[in-house]
Structure 1
């Protein structure tokens, strides 16, 4: 499936103020990495031969950026990544002058937000999560039918938003991450409600899927006693079967999404664990690398 007309749009600025818009023919190289962990996603964006004034503007503190990319034949540039510019620098690599942006998704919200929560008896985990998202200033992506639980004695907390989120989600069988400046909350091991993307040869699948198996362990460890009687997730090990696949750029896919893998060796629904988008506006293919795990659907427990 030929896709030659690659397009991108990079917006950089502070808050709601109008900032810079960078578009072709400026050369842009991107390395976008996303996963389902609680740590902010890391992205690298390199821009070539900008004017001195533009380079200076990009090195100001407190900037945010949004990157759209895709193919003109398929809807034009689509949202692929966003976040805070945590570091920007320019290096001279004759004949080019290269400006690199290090971007972290949700970095400012995770680093700086302290929340104050005081909900009485019978507080629901879903209500606590909504309150945390509001105080972080992030929109919330959370299905209505995810597991919930009642905090019988109420919920009181003051401190880092990320600590509160970890406490509530771990005690409820949920997981959280920040994707494109949105707080995403899923059933642990579950998927978003976005329509599944089909990964097949005629939709951009490259080569053959590679079968993988890994020993998975929850990375998040709680200090002291588990929240409100929750099991210590750090001790939960499981073997996960999955696939490693490559495709032409699929900017709309995020960790936690459901995809349907169709090839000569496999046809199955899979959950996206990790996404890597890589590309250069001047050379080579724009590609997406996906780490997938088999999607099992055990009966949901009602809280």
Structure 2
């Protein structure tokens, strides 16, 4: 296994989108469970910090509080998760003060953002979908990522959108066979049979693949695999993964990642990603 996969490390930033305050925390024991997928509901996380200072604990109670978790090896850290704080609580475990934070990626935007627009007949559907996406950016402080595969098709009649932006985006993407989600506070739209335009994450025993991937049916009979790897932040819904496993060459190939769960403990044994990916 590559030397770059040793010396696991993490950093947590606590902040408020309302006030603009942010505090980066390093060196503390950090335990986390993260669930990510390509659906339009918020990706969830539970992040536990040991012996966080009183002032730092106060940050998660601020209005529109958020958490950013970076993970990696040595000083090579990348963003693993960004989410809005849904609930936070403190408990005493022996000599330790333990702060647990439950989060949802894009949670506030999905729950709050509303679109109110009217369109004349002949409006480009691509423009309508872009307007809905912009509502997340302008009202929900979500970044705009890749928007791929949207058909440029004229509407036959006028239309009025007055609804939650999530509902509008669900309907518009479904009509075009697309999927949308918020990943690390960034909105992305993709065809269901296409991955993000980024280099595939190579998974081999040398780069972090653990054990042998298993072939399985995913999403109503679509062929795919399940795999376990060490935590690599590049493993994210919508990304391409390239499997190379000499122990079972039938699983080798390119796949689009549909879902991944991360489990980590900077002071324990857990430091894994469990992914589900489909054949393209």
What is the TM-score when the length of structure 2 is the normalising length? Answer: 0.90
Aligned pairs for 1:26-37 (under 5 A) are 26-37=28-39
Residue 274, structure 1, aligned to residue 259, structure 2: yes
Deviates more, 1:129-138 or 1:86-95: 129-138
Distance 1:149 1:275 in 2: 34
- Aligned-residue offset at 1:79: 1.1
- What SS class does the counterpart of residue 201 from structure 1 fall into? coil
Does the C-alpha gap of structure 1 residues 55 and 144 become closer, same or farther in structure 2, counting only changes over 3 Å? closer
5+ residue gaps, structure 2: none
Structure 2 residue aligned with 1:19: 22
Does the C-alpha gap of structure 1 residues 148 and 286 become closer, same or farther in structure 2, counting only changes over 3 Å? farther
Structure 2 residue aligned with 1:66: 68
Structure 2 residue aligned with 1:242: 224
- What SS class does the counterpart of residue 151 from structure 1 fall into? coil
Distance 1:155 1:258 in 2: 36
Distance 1:147 1:271 in 2: 21
Question: Match for 1:161 among 165, 176, 181?
Answer: 165
Residue 48, structure 1, aligned to residue 50, structure 2: yes
Structure 1 residue aligned with 2:92: 92
Distance 2:117 2:58 in 1: 41
Residue 193, structure 1, aligned to residue 214, structure 2: no
Residue 254, structure 1, aligned to residue 258, structure 2: no
Does the C-alpha gap of structure 1 residues 274 and 145 become closer, same or farther in structure 2, counting only changes over 3 Å? closer
| Contact 1:248–1:285 under 8 Å retained in 2 | no
- CA root-mean-square deviation: 1.7
- Number of residue equivalences: 270
- What SS class does the counterpart of residue 59 from structure 1 fall into? coil
- Aligned-residue offset at 1:144: 4.9
Distance 1:208 1:146 in 2: 36
- Aligned-residue offset at 1:55: 2.1
- Aligned-residue offset at 1:186: 0.6
- Aligned-residue offset at 1:213: 2.1
Structure 1 residue aligned with 2:118: 118
- Aligned-residue offset at 1:171: 1.1
- What SS class does the counterpart of residue 127 from structure 1 fall into? helix
Distance 1:50 1:103 in 2: 17
Structure 2 residue aligned with 1:178: 182
Does the C-alpha gap of structure 1 residues 172 and 148 become closer, same or farther in structure 2, counting only changes over 3 Å? farther
Residue 291, structure 1, aligned to residue 259, structure 2: no
What is the TM-score when the length of structure 1 is the normalising length? Answer: 0.84
Q: Deviations over 1:74-93 (max 9, x none)?
A: xx110111010010001112
